[in-house]
Structure 1
Amino acid sequence: MYIPDIYKNENQEEIQNFIHENSFAILVNQTDGKLWATHIPLILDKNEAGKDILVGHVSKENPQAGSFSENAEVLAIFSGPHTYVSSSWYDHENVPTWNYLAAHIYGKVKVLNHDEAVGSLKKLVDKYEKKSKTPLRVEDLSKKTMMQACGIIAFEIEITSVEAVKKLSQNRDKKNYDNIISELENIGDLNSKQMADEMRKNK
Protein backbone atom coordinates (compact mmCIF):
# COMPACT_ATOMS: atom_id res chain seq x y z
CA MET A 1 0.00 0.00 0.00
CA TYR A 2 1.36 3.43 -0.90
CA ILE A 3 1.56 5.55 2.27
CA PRO A 4 3.28 8.95 2.37
CA ASP A 5 5.53 9.12 5.44
CA ILE A 6 3.38 11.76 7.15
CA TYR A 7 0.41 9.36 7.20
CA LYS A 8 2.21 6.14 8.22
CA ASN A 9 1.03 4.60 11.46
CA GLU A 10 3.75 2.47 13.05
CA ASN A 11 2.33 2.41 16.58
CA GLN A 12 1.78 -1.34 17.06
CA GLU A 13 -0.59 -1.00 20.02
CA GLU A 14 -2.68 1.49 18.08
CA ILE A 15 -2.78 -0.80 15.03
CA GLN A 16 -3.83 -3.79 17.11
CA ASN A 17 -6.63 -1.79 18.76
CA PHE A 18 -7.72 -0.65 15.30
CA ILE A 19 -7.95 -4.26 14.07
CA HIS A 20 -9.88 -5.32 17.19
CA GLU A 21 -12.37 -2.48 16.66
CA ASN A 22 -12.68 -2.89 12.87
CA SER A 23 -12.44 -6.66 12.56
CA PHE A 24 -14.77 -7.15 9.57
CA ALA A 25 -12.09 -7.50 6.91
CA ILE A 26 -11.59 -8.24 3.22
CA LEU A 27 -9.45 -11.34 2.66
CA VAL A 28 -7.67 -11.26 -0.71
CA ASN A 29 -5.61 -13.91 -2.52
CA GLN A 30 -5.01 -15.56 -5.86
CA THR A 31 -7.73 -18.12 -6.58
CA ASP A 32 -7.91 -20.02 -9.85
CA GLY A 33 -5.51 -17.58 -11.44
CA LYS A 34 -7.37 -14.40 -10.50
CA LEU A 35 -7.70 -12.10 -7.53
CA TRP A 36 -10.41 -13.20 -5.10
CA ALA A 37 -11.86 -11.35 -2.12
CA THR A 38 -14.13 -12.45 0.72
CA HIS A 39 -15.71 -10.21 3.37
CA ILE A 40 -15.31 -11.93 6.75
CA PRO A 41 -14.61 -11.18 10.41
CA LEU A 42 -11.03 -11.91 11.46
CA ILE A 43 -9.81 -12.13 15.04
CA LEU A 44 -6.37 -10.91 16.04
CA ASP A 45 -4.89 -13.58 18.33
CA LYS A 46 -1.58 -15.21 19.27
CA ASN A 47 -0.41 -18.72 18.42
CA GLU A 48 1.31 -21.12 20.82
CA ALA A 49 4.66 -19.51 20.05
CA GLY A 50 3.30 -16.10 21.05
CA LYS A 51 3.29 -14.72 17.51
CA ASP A 52 0.45 -12.51 16.26
CA ILE A 53 -2.00 -14.29 13.98
CA LEU A 54 -5.39 -13.67 12.41
CA VAL A 55 -8.06 -16.36 12.77
CA GLY A 56 -11.16 -16.81 10.62
CA HIS A 57 -13.13 -19.13 8.38
CA VAL A 58 -14.85 -19.32 5.01
CA SER A 59 -17.43 -21.65 3.55
CA LYS A 60 -16.15 -24.85 1.93
CA GLU A 61 -18.24 -23.78 -1.06
CA ASN A 62 -16.12 -20.64 -1.44
CA PRO A 63 -13.46 -21.25 -4.15
CA GLN A 64 -11.02 -19.28 -1.99
CA ALA A 65 -11.03 -22.14 0.53
CA GLY A 66 -9.62 -24.55 -2.03
CA SER A 67 -6.77 -22.21 -2.92
CA PHE A 68 -5.16 -21.97 0.52
CA SER A 69 -2.95 -25.03 0.05
CA GLU A 70 -1.78 -23.88 -3.39
CA ASN A 71 -1.32 -20.20 -2.66
CA ALA A 72 -0.81 -19.51 1.04
CA GLU A 73 -0.05 -15.79 0.63
CA VAL A 74 -3.01 -13.60 1.60
CA LEU A 75 -3.81 -9.97 2.27
CA ALA A 76 -6.34 -8.91 4.91
CA ILE A 77 -7.66 -5.36 4.56
CA PHE A 78 -9.18 -3.60 7.57
CA SER A 79 -11.03 -0.31 7.06
CA GLY A 80 -12.04 2.29 9.60
CA PRO A 81 -13.78 5.67 9.48
CA HIS A 82 -13.39 7.63 6.25
CA THR A 83 -14.82 10.87 4.96
CA TYR A 84 -14.59 13.55 2.28
CA VAL A 85 -12.75 16.74 3.25
CA SER A 86 -13.77 19.85 1.33
CA SER A 87 -11.05 22.37 0.56
CA SER A 88 -13.69 25.08 1.08
CA TRP A 89 -13.00 24.53 4.79
CA TYR A 90 -9.45 25.90 4.45
CA ASP A 91 -8.42 29.54 4.70
CA HIS A 92 -6.61 29.20 1.35
CA GLU A 93 -7.23 27.69 -2.06
CA ASN A 94 -6.47 23.99 -2.38
CA VAL A 95 -7.96 20.73 -3.62
CA PRO A 96 -10.40 18.53 -1.68
CA THR A 97 -9.26 15.18 -0.29
CA TRP A 98 -10.35 12.12 1.68
CA ASN A 99 -9.38 11.26 5.25
CA TYR A 100 -9.34 7.61 6.33
CA LEU A 101 -7.85 4.89 8.49
CA ALA A 102 -6.88 1.45 7.20
CA ALA A 103 -4.51 -1.46 7.81
CA HIS A 104 -3.17 -4.06 5.39
CA ILE A 105 -2.01 -7.31 6.97
CA TYR A 106 0.01 -9.76 4.87
CA GLY A 107 0.59 -13.35 5.88
CA LYS A 108 0.56 -17.07 5.20
CA VAL A 109 -2.51 -19.26 5.69
CA LYS A 110 -2.55 -22.46 7.70
CA VAL A 111 -5.76 -24.54 7.51
CA LEU A 112 -7.05 -25.78 10.90
CA ASN A 113 -8.44 -29.21 11.73
CA HIS A 114 -12.05 -29.69 12.91
CA ASP A 115 -11.36 -29.32 16.63
CA GLU A 116 -9.27 -26.22 16.02
CA ALA A 117 -12.04 -24.86 13.80
CA VAL A 118 -14.61 -25.26 16.58
CA GLY A 119 -12.19 -23.52 18.95
CA SER A 120 -11.88 -20.59 16.54
CA LEU A 121 -15.68 -20.40 16.28
CA LYS A 122 -15.91 -20.15 20.07
CA LYS A 123 -13.49 -17.21 20.08
CA LEU A 124 -15.40 -15.49 17.29
CA VAL A 125 -18.81 -15.95 18.90
CA ASP A 126 -17.56 -14.99 22.38
CA LYS A 127 -16.11 -11.75 21.02
CA TYR A 128 -19.27 -10.57 19.30
CA GLU A 129 -21.75 -11.89 21.87
CA LYS A 130 -20.31 -9.68 24.62
CA LYS A 131 -22.85 -6.96 23.90
CA SER A 132 -25.85 -9.32 23.85
CA LYS A 133 -28.28 -9.36 26.78
CA THR A 134 -28.27 -13.17 26.72
CA PRO A 135 -24.93 -14.13 25.14
CA LEU A 136 -24.92 -17.23 22.93
CA ARG A 137 -22.28 -19.87 23.65
CA VAL A 138 -21.04 -22.34 21.06
CA GLU A 139 -20.74 -24.89 23.86
CA ASP A 140 -24.52 -24.74 24.37
CA LEU A 141 -25.45 -25.44 20.74
CA SER A 142 -26.89 -28.83 19.84
CA LYS A 143 -24.92 -31.44 17.89
CA LYS A 144 -27.37 -30.96 15.03
CA THR A 145 -26.64 -27.23 14.85
CA MET A 146 -22.89 -27.77 15.24
CA MET A 147 -22.94 -30.04 12.19
CA GLN A 148 -22.81 -26.77 10.25
CA ALA A 149 -19.20 -26.44 11.39
CA CYS A 150 -18.42 -29.24 8.94
CA GLY A 151 -19.24 -26.80 6.16
CA ILE A 152 -16.44 -24.36 6.87
CA ILE A 153 -12.69 -24.14 6.37
CA ALA A 154 -11.12 -22.46 9.39
CA PHE A 155 -7.62 -21.03 9.20
CA GLU A 156 -5.04 -18.92 10.89
CA ILE A 157 -2.82 -16.38 9.17
CA GLU A 158 0.76 -16.04 10.33
CA ILE A 159 1.40 -12.32 9.99
CA THR A 160 4.47 -11.48 7.92
CA SER A 161 3.96 -7.75 7.32
CA VAL A 162 1.78 -4.90 8.58
CA GLU A 163 1.06 -1.59 6.85
CA ALA A 164 -1.21 0.99 8.43
CA VAL A 165 -2.34 4.43 7.30
CA LYS A 166 -3.81 7.22 9.39
CA LYS A 167 -4.65 10.09 7.04
CA LEU A 168 -6.07 12.78 9.30
CA SER A 169 -5.07 16.08 7.67
CA GLN A 170 -1.71 16.06 9.46
CA ASN A 171 -0.40 18.31 6.67
CA ARG A 172 -2.62 21.20 7.80
CA ASP A 173 -1.77 23.91 10.32
CA LYS A 174 -3.65 24.10 13.63
CA LYS A 175 -6.20 26.66 12.42
CA ASN A 176 -7.24 24.65 9.36
CA TYR A 177 -6.99 21.32 11.25
CA ASP A 178 -9.40 22.56 13.91
CA ASN A 179 -11.75 23.96 11.28
CA ILE A 180 -11.90 20.57 9.51
CA ILE A 181 -12.91 18.96 12.82
CA SER A 182 -15.61 21.59 13.32
CA GLU A 183 -17.00 21.14 9.80
CA LEU A 184 -17.06 17.34 10.16
CA GLU A 185 -18.94 17.64 13.45
CA ASN A 186 -21.47 19.95 11.79
CA ILE A 187 -22.14 17.41 9.03
CA GLY A 188 -23.13 14.97 11.75
CA ASP A 189 -23.20 11.63 9.89
CA LEU A 190 -21.50 8.65 11.55
CA ASN A 191 -18.30 8.64 9.47
CA SER A 192 -17.85 12.40 9.84
CA LYS A 193 -18.35 12.23 13.62
CA GLN A 194 -15.94 9.30 13.95
CA MET A 195 -13.34 11.06 11.82
CA ALA A 196 -13.67 14.22 13.92
CA ASP A 197 -13.09 12.10 17.04
CA GLU A 198 -10.01 10.48 15.50
CA MET A 199 -8.61 13.87 14.52
CA ARG A 200 -9.15 15.20 18.03
CA LYS A 201 -7.30 12.20 19.50
CA ASN A 202 -4.44 12.79 17.07
CA LYS A 203 -3.87 16.48 17.96
Structure 2
Amino acid sequence: MYIPKYFKVNNTEDIRNFVQENSFGTVVTTEQGKPIATHLPLGFSKKGEHYYITGHFAYGNSQWRTFEACEDVLVMFQGPHAYISSSWYSRENVPTWNYQAVHMYGKASILEKDELVQELTIMLEKYEKHRENAVLWDKLSPKLLESELKGIVGFKIKVEDIQAAYKLSQNRNETDYMNIIDQLQNEENVNAKHMADLMGNKFKKKI
Protein backbone atom coordinates (compact mmCIF):
# COMPACT_ATOMS: atom_id res chain seq x y z
CA MET A 1 0.00 0.00 0.00
CA TYR A 2 1.33 3.44 -0.92
CA ILE A 3 1.63 5.51 2.28
CA PRO A 4 2.99 9.10 2.29
CA LYS A 5 5.14 9.76 5.37
CA TYR A 6 2.55 12.06 7.00
CA PHE A 7 0.02 9.25 7.17
CA LYS A 8 2.10 6.19 8.04
CA VAL A 9 1.20 4.48 11.34
CA ASN A 10 3.76 2.35 13.19
CA ASN A 11 2.23 2.07 16.67
CA THR A 12 1.31 -1.61 16.97
CA GLU A 13 -1.09 -1.08 19.88
CA ASP A 14 -2.93 1.64 17.96
CA ILE A 15 -3.24 -0.66 14.94
CA ARG A 16 -4.43 -3.52 17.14
CA ASN A 17 -7.17 -1.35 18.67
CA PHE A 18 -8.18 -0.15 15.20
CA VAL A 19 -8.57 -3.71 13.91
CA GLN A 20 -10.56 -4.74 16.98
CA GLU A 21 -12.97 -1.85 16.36
CA ASN A 22 -13.12 -2.35 12.56
CA SER A 23 -12.97 -6.14 12.42
CA PHE A 24 -15.15 -6.68 9.33
CA GLY A 25 -12.31 -7.17 6.86
CA THR A 26 -11.62 -8.32 3.32
CA VAL A 27 -9.57 -11.47 2.66
CA VAL A 28 -7.80 -11.45 -0.71
CA THR A 29 -6.11 -14.42 -2.40
CA THR A 30 -5.43 -15.41 -6.00
CA GLU A 31 -6.66 -18.30 -8.10
CA GLN A 32 -4.83 -18.94 -11.36
CA GLY A 33 -3.55 -15.37 -11.26
CA LYS A 34 -6.99 -13.81 -10.67
CA PRO A 35 -7.58 -11.94 -7.37
CA ILE A 36 -10.61 -13.12 -5.37
CA ALA A 37 -11.98 -11.62 -2.16
CA THR A 38 -14.43 -12.35 0.65
CA HIS A 39 -15.76 -9.91 3.26
CA LEU A 40 -15.76 -11.45 6.74
CA PRO A 41 -15.85 -10.71 10.48
CA LEU A 42 -12.35 -11.48 11.73
CA GLY A 43 -10.50 -12.02 14.97
CA PHE A 44 -7.09 -10.54 15.71
CA SER A 45 -4.88 -11.67 18.58
CA LYS A 46 -1.30 -12.08 19.71
CA LYS A 47 0.09 -15.48 20.64
CA GLY A 48 3.69 -15.47 21.77
CA GLU A 49 5.63 -13.15 19.48
CA HIS A 50 3.22 -13.33 16.56
CA TYR A 51 -0.12 -11.80 15.57
CA TYR A 52 -2.84 -13.96 14.03
CA ILE A 53 -5.99 -13.20 12.08
CA THR A 54 -8.76 -15.78 12.44
CA GLY A 55 -12.10 -16.31 10.74
CA HIS A 56 -14.21 -18.77 8.82
CA PHE A 57 -15.61 -19.27 5.32
CA ALA A 58 -18.82 -21.00 4.31
CA TYR A 59 -17.75 -24.46 3.12
CA GLY A 60 -19.25 -23.70 -0.28
CA ASN A 61 -16.98 -20.65 -0.71
CA SER A 62 -14.05 -22.19 -2.56
CA GLN A 63 -11.66 -19.36 -1.63
CA TRP A 64 -10.41 -21.36 1.36
CA ARG A 65 -9.06 -23.93 -1.11
CA THR A 66 -6.64 -21.30 -2.50
CA PHE A 67 -4.73 -20.99 0.79
CA GLU A 68 -2.34 -23.85 0.10
CA ALA A 69 -1.15 -22.40 -3.21
CA CYS A 70 -1.01 -18.78 -2.01
CA GLU A 71 2.36 -17.65 -0.74
CA ASP A 72 0.75 -14.58 0.87
CA VAL A 73 -2.81 -13.73 1.82
CA LEU A 74 -3.82 -10.06 2.01
CA VAL A 75 -6.35 -8.90 4.61
CA MET A 76 -7.68 -5.34 4.50
CA PHE A 77 -9.44 -3.42 7.27
CA GLN A 78 -11.05 -0.02 6.70
CA GLY A 79 -12.25 2.65 9.10
CA PRO A 80 -14.23 5.84 8.47
CA HIS A 81 -13.63 7.83 5.29
CA ALA A 82 -14.86 11.16 3.96
CA TYR A 83 -14.51 13.61 1.07
CA ILE A 84 -12.51 16.72 1.96
CA SER A 85 -13.34 19.84 -0.07
CA SER A 86 -10.42 22.17 -0.74
CA SER A 87 -12.85 25.07 -0.21
CA TRP A 88 -12.27 24.37 3.49
CA TYR A 89 -8.59 25.39 3.25
CA SER A 90 -7.25 28.90 3.74
CA ARG A 91 -5.26 28.66 0.50
CA GLU A 92 -6.11 27.35 -2.96
CA ASN A 93 -5.65 23.60 -3.32
CA VAL A 94 -7.38 20.50 -4.67
CA PRO A 95 -9.93 18.26 -2.89
CA THR A 96 -8.90 14.96 -1.32
CA TRP A 97 -10.25 12.05 0.70
CA ASN A 98 -9.52 11.19 4.34
CA TYR A 99 -9.52 7.56 5.47
CA GLN A 100 -8.06 4.87 7.71
CA ALA A 101 -6.83 1.57 6.27
CA VAL A 102 -4.74 -1.35 7.47
CA HIS A 103 -3.28 -4.07 5.24
CA MET A 104 -1.87 -7.29 6.67
CA TYR A 105 -0.02 -10.04 4.84
CA GLY A 106 0.68 -13.58 5.95
CA LYS A 107 0.46 -17.31 5.36
CA ALA A 108 -2.92 -18.96 5.97
CA SER A 109 -3.73 -22.41 7.31
CA ILE A 110 -6.92 -24.29 8.13
CA LEU A 111 -8.04 -24.54 11.77
CA GLU A 112 -8.60 -27.85 13.50
CA LYS A 113 -12.11 -28.36 14.88
CA ASP A 114 -11.17 -27.52 18.48
CA GLU A 115 -9.39 -24.34 17.33
CA LEU A 116 -12.43 -23.33 15.29
CA VAL A 117 -14.74 -23.87 18.27
CA GLN A 118 -12.45 -21.70 20.41
CA GLU A 119 -12.43 -18.88 17.86
CA LEU A 120 -16.22 -19.01 17.40
CA THR A 121 -16.69 -18.92 21.18
CA ILE A 122 -14.50 -15.80 21.41
CA MET A 123 -16.33 -14.12 18.51
CA LEU A 124 -19.76 -14.75 20.02
CA GLU A 125 -18.53 -13.41 23.36
CA LYS A 126 -17.25 -10.23 21.70
CA TYR A 127 -20.48 -9.40 19.87
CA GLU A 128 -23.10 -10.89 22.21
CA LYS A 129 -21.98 -10.46 25.82
CA HIS A 130 -23.54 -6.99 26.22
CA ARG A 131 -26.94 -8.08 24.84
CA GLU A 132 -29.94 -8.84 27.02
CA ASN A 133 -30.46 -12.32 25.52
CA ALA A 134 -26.87 -13.11 24.61
CA VAL A 135 -26.38 -15.96 22.12
CA LEU A 136 -23.24 -17.59 23.53
CA TRP A 137 -21.64 -20.87 22.54
CA ASP A 138 -22.56 -22.78 25.69
CA LYS A 139 -26.20 -21.66 25.40
CA LEU A 140 -26.72 -23.21 21.97
CA SER A 141 -27.73 -26.85 21.56
CA PRO A 142 -24.92 -29.32 20.72
CA LYS A 143 -27.02 -30.69 17.85
CA LEU A 144 -27.32 -27.25 16.22
CA LEU A 145 -23.64 -26.46 16.73
CA GLU A 146 -22.49 -29.77 15.27
CA SER A 147 -24.67 -29.20 12.22
CA GLU A 148 -23.43 -25.64 11.70
CA LEU A 149 -19.77 -26.62 12.10
CA LYS A 150 -20.10 -28.91 9.10
CA GLY A 151 -20.95 -25.92 6.94
CA ILE A 152 -17.90 -23.75 7.65
CA VAL A 153 -14.12 -23.87 7.33
CA GLY A 154 -12.04 -22.03 9.92
CA PHE A 155 -8.66 -20.46 9.17
CA LYS A 156 -5.83 -18.53 10.75
CA ILE A 157 -3.29 -16.23 9.13
CA LYS A 158 0.10 -15.72 10.73
CA VAL A 159 0.77 -12.03 10.14
CA GLU A 160 4.18 -11.32 8.60
CA ASP A 161 3.74 -7.70 7.46
CA ILE A 162 1.50 -4.83 8.60
CA GLN A 163 0.97 -1.61 6.65
CA ALA A 164 -1.24 1.12 8.12
CA ALA A 165 -2.34 4.51 6.79
CA TYR A 166 -4.40 7.09 8.66
CA LYS A 167 -4.98 10.03 6.31
CA LEU A 168 -6.52 12.57 8.68
CA SER A 169 -5.30 15.93 7.33
CA GLN A 170 -2.14 15.76 9.47
CA ASN A 171 -0.35 17.75 6.76
CA ARG A 172 -2.63 20.78 7.24
CA ASN A 173 -2.06 23.71 9.59
CA GLU A 174 -4.12 23.91 12.77
CA THR A 175 -6.56 26.51 11.40
CA ASP A 176 -7.39 24.40 8.34
CA TYR A 177 -7.51 21.23 10.45
CA MET A 178 -10.10 22.64 12.84
CA ASN A 179 -12.14 24.08 9.98
CA ILE A 180 -12.20 20.66 8.28
CA ILE A 181 -13.61 19.15 11.48
CA ASP A 182 -16.32 21.84 11.66
CA GLN A 183 -17.25 21.40 8.00
CA LEU A 184 -17.42 17.61 8.30
CA GLN A 185 -19.75 17.97 11.30
CA ASN A 186 -22.10 20.01 9.10
CA GLU A 187 -22.22 17.37 6.35
CA GLU A 188 -25.39 15.27 6.14
CA ASN A 189 -23.35 12.10 6.03
CA VAL A 190 -22.65 9.58 8.80
CA ASN A 191 -19.13 8.85 7.53
CA ALA A 192 -18.27 12.56 7.50
CA LYS A 193 -19.44 13.01 11.08
CA HIS A 194 -17.51 9.91 12.14
CA MET A 195 -14.38 11.33 10.51
CA ALA A 196 -14.91 14.66 12.29
CA ASP A 197 -15.13 12.90 15.65
CA LEU A 198 -12.02 10.88 14.88
CA MET A 199 -10.00 13.95 13.87
CA GLY A 200 -11.24 15.83 16.92
CA ASN A 201 -10.15 13.03 19.26
CA LYS A 202 -6.73 12.82 17.58
CA PHE A 203 -6.29 16.58 18.07
CA LYS A 204 -7.19 16.35 21.78
CA LYS A 205 -4.61 13.61 22.30
CA LYS A 206 -1.95 15.73 20.62
CA ILE A 207 -2.42 18.81 22.87
TM-score range, shorter chain: over 0.9
Task: Map 1:93-112 onto structure 2 (within 5 A).
Answer: 93-112=92-111
- Which residue number in structure 1 is paired with residue 41 of structure 2? 41
Deviations 1:156-203 (A, max 9, x none): 110000000010111111111110000011115321111112212222
- Supply the distance in 2 between the matched residues of 1:72 and 1:140 (Cα, whole angstroms): 39
**Are the aligned partners of 1:103 and 1:164 in contact in 2 as well (CA < 8 Å)?**
yes
- Supply the distance in 2 between the matched residues of 1:130 and 1:139 (Cα, whole angstroms): 12
Deviations 1:118-162 (A, max 9, x none): 111111111111331111111222233111111111011100000
- Which residue number in structure 2 is paired with residue 4 of structure 1? 4
- Which residue number in structure 2 is paired with residue 127 of structure 1? 126
RMSD: 1.3
Deviations 1:57-116 (A, max 9, x none): 101111111111222521110000000000111122110000000100111112111121
- Which residue number in structure 2 is paired with residue 157 of structure 1? 157
Give the letter for the 2:98 counterpart: N
**TM-score between both structures, scaled by the size of structure 2:** 0.93
Give the letter for the 1:100 counterpart: Y
- Supply the distance in 2 between the matched residues of 1:116 and 1:87 (Cα, whole angstroms): 50
What SS class does the counterpart of residue 135 from structure 1 fall into?
coil
Consecutive unaligned residues in structure 2, runs of 5 or more: none
Q: Are 1:69 and 2:68 an aligned pair?
A: yes
- Which residue number in structure 2 is paired with residue 89 of structure 1? 88
**Are the aligned partners of 1:23 and 1:78 in contact in 2 as well (CA < 8 Å)?**
yes
Identity of aligned residues (%): 44
Moved over 4 A (4+): none
- Supply the distance in 2 between the matched residues of 1:24 and 1:116 (Cα, whole angstroms): 20
**TM-score between both structures, scaled by the size of structure 1:** 0.95
**Are the aligned partners of 2:129 and 2:136 in contact in 1 as well (CA < 8 Å)?**
no
